[in-house]
């Protein structure tokens, strides 16, 4: 395994957006009753993180700098 495994802009962006999606989705579930639109926005962010990662990887942002 590479010493730089996962240390690329694409990987960091993917993790950041996915984490934001999970936080937003969880926040929507904290309300009583559950705020389903907020939950689904979080799910959308989590799915969008996969698309963002794929696009950034195709643009070359998932390659090691060395």
The 10s digit of each residue's pLDDT in 6-19 is 789 999 999 999 99
Q: How far apart are CA 19 and CA 42, in angstroms?
A: 9
The 10s digit of each residue's pLDDT in 43-57 is 999 999 999 999 999
The pLDDT of residue 66 is above 70: no
What value does the mean pLDDT take over residues 11-29? 96
Mean pLDDT of the chain: 90
Instruction: State the pTM of this model.
Output: 0.84
Check: CB of residue 42 under 8 Å from CB of residue 27.
yes
């Amino acid at each position: 395994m590479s010493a730089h495994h996962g240390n690329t802009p694409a990987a960091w962006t993917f993790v950041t957006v996915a984490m934001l999606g999970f936080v937003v989705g969880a926040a929507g579930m904290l309300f009583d009753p559950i705020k389903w639109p907020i939950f689904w926005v979080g799910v959308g962010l989590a799915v969008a993180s996969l698309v963002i990662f794929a696009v950034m990887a195709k643009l070359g942002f998932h390659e090691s700098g060395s």
